[in-house]
Amino acid sequence: MPDPFPHPNPRNALHVGSVMCPAGCSHVNGFKVDNWKQNLRVIYQCFVWSGTAETRRRKAKSCICHMCGAHLNRLHSCLYCVFFGCFSKKHIHEHAKNKRHNLAIDLLYGGIYCFACQDYIYDKDMEQIAKEEQRKAWKLQGGCSVLASLAVILKCVGEKFSTWEPTKRELELLRHNPKRRKITTNCTIGLRGLINLGNTCFMNCIVQALTHTPLLRDFFLSDRHKCEMQSNSCLVCEMSQLFQEFYSGHRSPHIPFRLLHLVWTHARHLAGYEQQDAHEFLIAALDVLHRHCKGDDNGKKANNPNHCNCIIDQIFTGGLQSDVTCQVCHGVSTTIDPFWDISLDLPGSSTPFWPLSPGGDSGVVNGEGHLTGSTTLTDCLRRFTRPEHLGSSAKIKCGGCHSYQESTKQLTMKKLPIVACFHLKRFEHSAKLRRKITTYVSFPLELDMTPFMASSKESRVNGQYQQSVDVLNNDNKYSLFAVVNHQGTLESGHYTSFIRQHKDQWFKCDDAIITKASIKDVLDSEG
Residues facing residue 502 across a β-bridge: 505
113 Cβ contact list (under 8 Å, min separation 6): 76, 87, 103, 104, 105, 106, 119, 120, 121
Chain mean position to CA 347: 32
Q: What residues contact residue 126 under an 8 Å CB cut-off, 6+ apart?
A: 28, 40, 112
CA-based torsion, 68, 72, 73, 75: positive or negative? positive
| DSSP per-residue string spanning 415-474 | E--SS--EEE--EEE-SS-EEE----EE--SEEE-GGGBGGGGGGEETTEE---TT----
Distance CA 209, CA 498 (A): 8
- Asked if 71 contacts 64 with a C-beta cutoff of 8 angstroms, the reply is yes
Q: How far apart are CA 476 and CA 42, in angstroms?
A: 60
Give the whole-angstrom CA distance, residue 138 versus residue 151.
7
Catalytic residue among 66, 93, 423, 494: 494
Residue 232 falls in which region: left (phi positive, over 0), alpha (psi -120 to 50) or beta: left
End-to-end CA distance of the chain: 41
Instruction: Choose among 382, 527, 413, 522: nearest CA to 475.
Output: 413
329 is catalytic: no
Residue 504 CA to residue 203 CA, distance in Å, equals 25
Residues shown for the chain: 527
Alpha-carbon gap, residue 125 to 123, rounded angstroms: 6
Burial class (CB in 10 A: 0-12, 13-18, 19+), 245: middle
DSSP string, 72-118: -SSEEEESSSS-EEETTTTHHHHHHHHHT--EEEETTT--EEETTTT
* Choice among 86, 114, 201, 205 that is catalytic: 201
The strand pairing partners of 498, in sequence order, are 483, 508
Active site includes 201? Answer: yes
Q: Which amino acid is at 488?
A: G
DSSP codes of every residue in 361-408: --EEETTEEE-TT-EEHHHHHHHHTS-EE--GGG-EE-TTTSSEE-EE
| Cα atoms in the 13 Å half-sphere on the side-chain side of 3 | 9
Point out which residues pair with 495 in neighbouring strands: 486
Contacts of 179 (CB under 8 A, 6+ apart): none
What residues are annotated to the active site?
201, 494
